[in-house]
Amino acid sequence: MIVIAIDGPSGSGKSSVSRALAQEFGWAYLDTGALYRTLTLLALQSKAEFLTRISEDNRQGSELISWIGDPRDPQVLLKGERVNTLIRSQEITDRVSEIAANPQVRSYLLEIQRTLINQAARGIVVEGRDIGTTVWPDAELKIFLTADLEARAARRSAELEDQNSEREVGQSLAQRDAIDSSRSVSPLRKVDDQIVVDATHLTLAEVVAEISKKIKELRLMNDGANNE
């Protein structure tokens, strides 16, 4: 099984790039950020009971959170209900870094992430902030995808369809960068064995092509994958 780890800050294009690569090579896809967003949704719904809920779920081995890793239509479910749209609200975005910094939350999701990776039949592209450093440090290829704050804010603002100004989005991203990089457990950081891809002046297609070229150079393609 091949694991491609793509880490980087918010707005760098990790999701679009990861899904495109997974489709190109016929691999599964995992958005670990969606899992953290889903737990943030649970935290907002359950309030004080939140940490108790995940502790009980961890002991019982039940499926509080489920992930379907088809890159063409990835789905995340909370208690069996698809929550793809709900977890993209501004309220979730504003709270997710705070929830993700909780050591109990990270421990709980770490096991889920590793289980999902191990279940991938041929290969998987995994995106997040600590994939190459904590979740799967033995990944065959580790990418650190970044871009300057202005470029990330412009892209994220376009995704939000002008609901927020680029300045407001930039401030939000900078705040998330600070929280994600300074948390005590598994902070966002670049390490020596990651290949840095700066997407500031690259299109999505150009970023995908650059990483795809590296995958082919390393001969990581599975037999039967669409790698012409």
Name the nearest CA neighbour of 131 among 118, 150, 144, 146.
144
3-class DSSP assignment, residue 173? helix
Residue 136 lies in a domain: yes
pTM score of the predicted model: 0.91
Name the nearest CA neighbour of 128 among 84, 97, 169, 161.
97
Reported residue count of the chain is 228
Kind and range of the H or E run holding 105: helix 103-118
Residue 196 lies in a domain: yes
DSSP E strands: which ranges in the chain? 2-7, 28-31, 65-68, 75-78, 81-82, 123-128, 141-146, 195-198
Q: Could you give the CA distance from residue 16 to residue 10 in angstroms, rounded to a whole number?
A: 12
Residue 46 lies in a domain: no
Mean pLDDT by 10-residue block, N- to C-terminus, for the chain (228 residues)?
Answer: 96 96 98 96 86 76 85 96 95 93 93 96 96 97 97 83 75 92 93 96 97 96 50
Residue 79 lies in a domain: no
pLDDT at residue 42 in the model? 93
* Enclosing domain of residue 120: 2-32+89-217
3-class DSSP assignment, residue 182? helix
Kind and range of the H or E run holding 66: strand 65-68
User: Residues 66-81, buried b or exposed e (16+ Cβ, 10 A)?
Assistant: bbebebeebebbbeee
Residue 127 lies in a domain: yes
* CATH code: domain of residue 208: 3.40.50.300
Residue 62 lies in a domain: no
Q: Could you give the CA distance from residue 223 to residue 220 in angstroms, rounded to a whole number?
A: 10
Residue 223 lies in a domain: no
pLDDT at residue 60 in the model? 59
pLDDT at residue 224 in the model? 40
pLDDT at residue 157 in the model? 80
Residue 50 lies in a domain: no
Answer whether 193's CB lies under 8 Å from 131's CB. no
Q: For the chain, what is the domain count?
A: 1
